[in-house]
Amino acid sequence: MIFNTYILYSFTKDRYYVGSTGNLSDRLERHNGGRSKATKSGIPWQLVYQKSFALRSEAYQFEMYIKRQKSRQYIEKLIINDNGNKPE
């Protein structure tokens, strides 16, 4: 099984959300379906970054690392370095 750390972007709120999961498509559907309290107000969410790991603990540790940065600038640099551009 593959585990992912992911970053979502809400155009509505101009905010990022960082999470980790073992089923990215289901998790994105839950975020955009309003079934996640933390992201309900920002619908719709766009997946702007993902990184895969072999272990759940690795994905979670990377999620926590990103969150500890407490920096929108860090998140945007991570996205740019991975995708080559920011969300539009």
For the domain that residue 50 is a member of, what is the CATH number? 3.40.1440.10
pLDDT, position 23: 97
pLDDT, position 61: 97
Write out the E strands in 32-86.
Answer: 45-53
Q: How many domains does the chain have?
A: 1
Say if 63 falls within a structural domain: yes
Say if 88 falls within a structural domain: no
Quote the domain boundaries for residue 68: 3-83
Report mean pLDDT in 10-residue bins for the chain, 88 residues. Answer: 97 97 97 95 96 97 96 94 65
Q: Which helix (H) or strand (E) holds 63?
A: helix 56-69
